[in-house]
Amino acid sequence: MAEDIKSPVFPESVFEGTLSNWLKKEGESFKQDEILAEIETDKVVIEVTAPKDGTIEKIIIPEGTTIKSSEVIGNFNVGENIKKSKSISTKEKANQVTSPEKTKNKSESKELNPQNKGFRMGPAAKKLLNEKDITIEDIQTTSKKGVITKSDIVRNLNQDSNPSESVSEDDSSISNSESSKRVPMTRLRAVVADRLLESQAQTASLTTFNEVDLFEVKKLREKYKEDFEKKYGVKLGFMGLFLKASSIALQEMPIVNASIEGTDIIYHGFQDIGVAVSTERGLVVPVIRNVSNMSIAEIESSIKDYSIKARDGKLSIDDMMGGTFTVSNGGVFGSLLSTPILNPPQSAILGMHKIQDRPMVVDGNIEIRPMMYLALTYDHRLLDGKDAVSFLVKIKESLESPESMMLGI
C-alpha cells in the first residue's frame, strides 16, 4: 500500500518554499531517514527525509514548484524495493527478447533521427543539413550543451571543401541565441533581490570611509597563530578581531547598534553581529550572538562553524534571525573598495576590503604598511555623519592597537 511523502512542517516565519531538487526518482528505493528531496525557502534549505524504508512510486510535485507546509509531494511503497527491482528486471528481459528484424528496423530508425543519438540542432541548422550531403557524426559542435548550430555545419563545409566560405553575422546571432538559456531565480536569490531593493527604497543610506593600518594585527597573528590554533583548534583570523573591535565600538556608541521601529528608536542591550557569507545558493547572514561576552577564540570558532553549515546548506532559520549589526568582507574576493547595502532593520553595516601594501608616512618616515579601506554604510535617519565617522575611528583605533582589545582597555 502506498503512503504519502509530505513536505515538513515549516518554521513559523516560513510560509512557502520551492521544491528545488528530487534526490530519488520513481522506482528508486531508499532507506529510512535518507534524504528524498530538498525544499528551498527564503532563508534555508529544508530536507525531506524518508519516514521508513521503501520505493518511490510516484512524484506528484515536480522540481521548481512552490509548495506549502505539510503538502503531499509524492507517494512511496513501504518495503517494496526488492519487488520493484525484480519487476524492472523482468521488464528489461522482456524488452531484450525481440526479433532480429525488429532490432534492425529500430537501429535504422535511430540512425535517421540525429536526436536519438544525442544530437540537438536549431531549425536553421536542420535546413542546411538537409541541403548538404554531410554525415552528422563528423560535425564538431562548439556549444557546451551539445547543440549543433548552423555555424558548426558551415565550419565543417569550410574544412572539407571551400575554405573561403565564412559565417555571416546572421549565423553568429543564431548561434548566440541557441546557446543562451533562461533559468528561474532560486527562491533565496529572489528574496535577496527584494530585500536589497527594499533597503534602498526605505532607508536614507549613506557611506563613509576610513583606512586602517593592520601592521600590529598582522604582527600579533604571526607571533601567536600557531599557539592559538594548537590551544583552541581554530585559526586566528582577521574576522574574529574585526568582530571584537566592532562590538567594542557598538558598546561605546549604542546609537549605531539601534534600529528604527515606526517613530521609535530601539536601543538593543546586546551586540548580535551578522557575518555575510556567500554560498552557491546566494548570500546568507548567520548571526553571532552576544559578541561582547565572547573571547576572540569563541568568535573564531563560531565563524568556522557557521561557514561549514553555510557551505553544506545546513544553516537553520534561528541561525539567521535577528542581528543588530553586520560585517561584510569583500576583501576575500579581492575588492579594494565598496559601499555595502544595509540589512534592515539594522542601521549600519561595516565593509572590510582587501589588505594591500601601500607607502605610508609613519613618524615622519615612509614605510610600506598593510592597509585596508573600511566602509560604513548607515541609515542617515538615525545616525549623523559625526556618529558614523566616530564609530569607524573607534574600530580603527582598536585594530591599530590590538592589545587594547585583549586587555579590555
| 272 & 323 share domain | yes
* pTM metric for this prediction: 0.63
Answer whether residue 150 is part of any domain: yes
Give the whole-angstrom CA distance, residue 314 versus residue 47. Answer: 9
Give the dihedral sign, CA 149/153/154/156: positive
Q: Is the pLDDT of residue 241 over 80?
A: yes
Confidence of residue 38 (pLDDT cuts 50, 70, 90): confident
Q: Is the pLDDT of residue 209 over 70?
A: yes
| 227 & 342 share domain | yes
C-alpha cell at 69: 507546509
Answer whether residue 105 is part of any domain: no
Q: What is the DSSP string of 209-277?
A: EEEEE-HHHHHHHHHHHHHHHHHHSS---HHHHHHHHHHHHHHH-TTTT-EEETTEEE--SS--EEE-E
Residue 112 CA neighbour count, 13 Å, CB half: 6
Contacts of 312 (CB under 8 A, 6+ apart): none
**Of 170 and 56, more confident:** 56
Confidence of residue 130 (pLDDT cuts 50, 70, 90): low
Compute the mean pLDDT over every residue in the chain, rounded to the nearest whole number. Answer: 81
| 380 & 318 share domain | yes
Contacts of 245 (CB under 8 A, 6+ apart): 394, 395, 398, 399, 405
Give the per-residue pLDDT at 87: 45
Give the whole-angstrom CA distance, residue 235 versus residue 343. Answer: 28
List pLDDT tens digits, range 211-239.
999 999 999 999 999 999 999 999 999 99
For the residues 277-286, what does the mean pLDDT come to?
Answer: 81
Give the dihedral sign, CA 155/158/163/164: negative
Give the per-residue pLDDT at 196: 82
For the residues 251-273, what does the mean pLDDT come to?
Answer: 95
Confidence of residue 147 (pLDDT cuts 50, 70, 90): low
Number of domains in the chain: 3
* Radius of gyration (C-alpha) of the chain in whole angstroms: 30
List pLDDT tens digits, range 356-367.
999 999 999 999
Worst-scoring range by mean pLDDT, 6-15, 47-56, 272-281?
A: 6-15
CATH number at residue 47: 2.40.50.100
| 285 & 395 share domain | yes
Answer whether residue 103 is part of any domain: no
List pLDDT tens digits, range 367-405.
999 999 999 999 999 999 999 999 999 999 999 999 888
Answer whether residue 270 is part of any domain: yes
| 154 & 193 share domain | no
Confidence of residue 195 (pLDDT cuts 50, 70, 90): confident
List pLDDT tens digits, range 329-357.
999 899 999 999 999 899 999 999 999 99
Give the per-residue pLDDT at 408: 63
Answer whether residue 198 is part of any domain: yes
CA-nearest of 323, 335, 331 to 284 is 323
C-alpha cell at 1: 500500500
CA-nearest of 377, 396, 272 to 325 is 272
List pLDDT tens digits, range 283-310.
788 999 999 999 999 999 999 999 898 8
Answer whether residue 299 is part of any domain: yes
Give the per-residue pLDDT at 311: 82
Contacts of 284 (CB under 8 A, 6+ apart): 188, 276, 277, 310, 315, 320
Answer whether residue 389 is part of any domain: yes
Please name every residue paired with 56 in a beta bridge, in sequence order, or none if there are none: 76
Q: Which residue has the cell 574544412?
A: 159
Worst-scoring range by mean pLDDT, 27-31, 152-156, 163-167, 381-385?
A: 163-167
| 348 & 391 share domain | yes
CA distances from 97 to 90, 92, 101, 109, 318 (A): 11, 9, 12, 19, 58
Q: Is the pLDDT of residue 254 over 70?
A: yes
Give the per-residue pLDDT at 306: 92
Give the whole-angstrom CA distance, residue 398 versus residue 409. Answer: 9
Catalytic residues: 380, 384
CA distances from 289 to 89, 326, 399 (A): 56, 12, 21
CATH number at residue 278: 3.30.559.10
> Strand locations in 41-140, DSSP E?
45-49, 54-59, 66-67, 72-78, 120-121
**Of 116 and 190, more confident:** 190
Answer whether residue 90 is part of any domain: no
Domain end among 144, 159, 179: 179
| 166 & 216 share domain | no
Worst-scoring range by mean pLDDT, 99-103, 153-157, 392-396?
A: 99-103
Confidence of residue 122 (pLDDT cuts 50, 70, 90): low
Confidence of residue 282 (pLDDT cuts 50, 70, 90): confident
| 278 & 394 share domain | yes
Q: Is the pLDDT of residue 12 over 70?
A: no
| 208 & 330 share domain | yes
| 307 & 360 share domain | yes
CA-nearest of 253, 252, 303 to 273 is 303
Domain enclosing residue 53, as ranges: 2-85
Give the whole-angstrom CA distance, residue 216 versus residue 218. Answer: 5
CA torsion 297-298-299-305 (nearest 10°) is 110
Where residue 282 falls (left for φ over 0; alpha for ψ -120 to 50; beta otherwise) is left
| 350 & 385 share domain | yes
C-alpha cell at 301: 570558532
CA torsion 387-393-399-401 (nearest 10°) is -120
Give the dihedral sign, CA 194/200/203/208: positive
| 349 & 214 share domain | yes
